[in-house]
Amino acid sequence: MSRRLLAFLLSELDTIRLICQNPACNGIAEFATTKLALGNHQCRFCGFSFMPPTGTMTPLDVLGKAILAVQGIKDRVEVELIIPDKAP
């Protein structure tokens, strides 16, 4: 049995999509990966905060900085993300 996979290199990732989990909103906003680590992580439609109430570095800041750091060493290593297609 063969499996279909969606694979892409982290260096190819240009845009991150954030989906608001406020049940009254469910807004979707896209950010360039270069902008993700710049803070102001709240829904641009309803103002719902995407961050936990404590801590100085938010998970989205960490993700943004990590993506940029790995993209910066693509001449040494590439990270490939694999998403299996679970359709029958």
Tell me the per-residue pLDDT of 26-85, one tens digit each, with 9 for 90 and over: 999 898 888 888 777 889 999 998 887 776 677 888 898 999 999 999 999 999 999 888
Beta bridge partners of 13: none
| 3-state secondary structure (DSSP) of residue 57 | coil
**Burial classification of residue 63, based on how many CB atoms lie within 10 Å of its CB (0-12 exposed, 13-18 middle, 19 or more buried):** middle
39 with 31: CB under 8 angstroms? Answer: no
Q: How confident is the model at residue 87 (pLDDT cuts 50, 70, 90)?
A: confident
pTM over 0.85: no
